[in-house]
Amino acid sequence: MSIRVSHLHKRFGSFVAVDDVSLEVPSGALVAFLGPSGSGKSTILRIIAGLENADSGSVFVNEEIANHLHPRARRIGFVFQHYALFRHMTVAQNIAFGLRVQGASRQEQASRVQDLLTLMNLEGLNDRYPAQLSGGQRQRVALARALAPKPKVLLLDEPFGAVDAKTREELRHWLRRLHDEMHVTSIFVTHDQEEAFSVADRVIVIHRGRVEQSGVPTEILDQPATEFVARFIGAANIYTTRAKDGFCQVGALAVAAPGIPDGGLVTLVIRFYDLKFWRDDQGGMATVVRTVSLGDRVTVEAVIDGAVTILSQFPRRSSLLLGIEPGVRIHIEVTTVRIYPQETHSDSSITPRLQAGACDSKPGVDQPQSDAE
């Protein structure tokens, strides 16, 4: 079953949650809506499920308009962020609920419940109540419950947001496997890019109620369509500067900026992994300030002459790390840079805009003020 939405709009009071969103999810695909919290991605999901009414725009399920269908008539399985398990029902009763209200026989219910318990690795938990389960188990019960009535589409709202990192990792692999076995069209919402890229076939980046970019993970990583995507995806150094003679100057570091007119204000986005540092005791253009080990990766923080900080990340055993230690002089090579001309002329100075903490691998995100999710 394919899903298509066209020109969706939704406001909550004065807050615009969804702003003219059109997108398509082909039948059998596993798609991620990726965006910061408050970006409107959950609202889009809820509109598709019929839990929220759009102010305008249409939802098509298999090219049939579904706008006025009650949620129960849409045959869409929904997995809620905080599970939303029926607290007064056992695991088996929770899973059987959809079949029960749709009038399936007791035998049918029992056999489907048993199948799903096996599929979800929940054997023996039939008679437990939700309060007696771990987070990961609850999440799997929620999935089993959504899958029991054999929905045409599965929607998951931040499905792994409320479990610990290790369980999250397991659930991701497991969702991917499950999808490969069942081929039910699935959309999941996440603010975690690693989750989106590791699980989904296609990723749709959503920001301020709009679709910023839609594509397979490598497209989004390698060809960010907008400045927001470039900033949001992957950890990056972000500088605002002016072009001159085809170059942008960040302190002592010159970055080629072909085609940018002189004096044009630009935003430079340089991913941590698009940098190479070479030790250069004779001169160099920057000084290493510190190195931070993050398990399998090492973050190197340096100050470019002209007092601008730059961060890079290398695999722990990388040869690029040889001789890199606090205090040494380095030469910097930028392998890939993305340049976005700015329309607004705010300030002319070179402003380093490192976001989300110096050594965090999380991306820089413009925090929206309101949260509709």
Find out whether 208 and 366 touch, Cβ atoms under 8 Å.
no
Helix axes 106-119, 91-101, angle to 10 degrees: 130
CA–CA separation, 99 vs 75, rounded Å?
12
Smaller CB separation from other proteins, 69 or 320: 69
In the DSSP assignment, the letter for residue 372 is -
Question: Closest distance between other proteins and the C-beta of residue 99, in Å?
Answer: 9
CB atoms within 10 A of CB 262: 9
Q: How far is the CB of 340 from other proteins (least distance, A)?
A: 40
**C-beta of 156 vs 253, nearer to other proteins:** 156
Burial annotation 74-113 (CB, 10 A radius, 16+ → b, else e): bbbbbbbbebebeeeebbbbbbbbbbbeeebeeeebeebb
Nearer Cβ to other proteins, position 76 or 308? 76
Least distance in Å: CB of 137 to other proteins? 17
Q: Report the candidate in 135, 120, 337 with the shortest Cα–Cα distance to residue 250.
A: 337
Rounded to a whole number of angstroms, the minimum distance from the CB of residue 45 to other proteins is 11
Q: Are 14 and 62 in contact (CB under 8 A)?
A: no
Q: Identify how many contiguous H helices and E strands the chain contains and give both numbers.
A: 8, 21
Q: Is the backbone of residue 21 left (phi > 0), alpha (psi -120 to 50) or beta?
A: beta
CB of 38 to other proteins, least distance (A): 19
Cβ 12 to other proteins, closest distance in Å?
A: 12
Burial of 342 (0-12, 13-18, 19+ CB in 10 A): middle
Q: Could you tell me which of 265, 241, 243 has the C-alpha nearest to residue 350?
A: 241
Give Cβ neighbours of residue 236 (< 8 Å, ≥ 6 apart). 230, 269, 270, 271, 272, 363, 364
Angstrom distance (rounded) from CA 199 to CA 238:
28
Kindly tell me which of 149 and 352 has the beta carbon lying closer to other proteins: 149
Instruction: For the CB of residue 84, give the shortest distance to other proteins in the complex, in Å.
Output: 4
Comparing CB distances to other proteins, the nearer of 145 and 172 is: 145
Secondary structure letter of residue 260 according to DSSP: P
DSSP designation for 362: S
Nearer to other proteins, 153 or 257 (CB): 153
Q: How far is the CB of 163 from other proteins (least distance, A)?
A: 17
By the criterion CB under 8 A, which residues form the site for other proteins? 49-51, 70-72, 74-78, 80, 82, 84-88, 97-98, 101-102, 145-146, 148-149
Q: Between residues 150 and 177, which has the closer beta carbon with respect to other proteins?
A: 150
Min dist. Cβ of residue 133 to other proteins (A): 15
* Residue with Cβ nearer other proteins (72 or 316): 72
| Least distance CB 150 / other proteins (angstroms) | 11
* Residue 91 vs 243, nearer CB to other proteins: 91
- What is the rounded CA–CA span in Å between residue 144 and residue 95? 6
Which C-beta is closer to other proteins: that of 76 or that of 255? 76
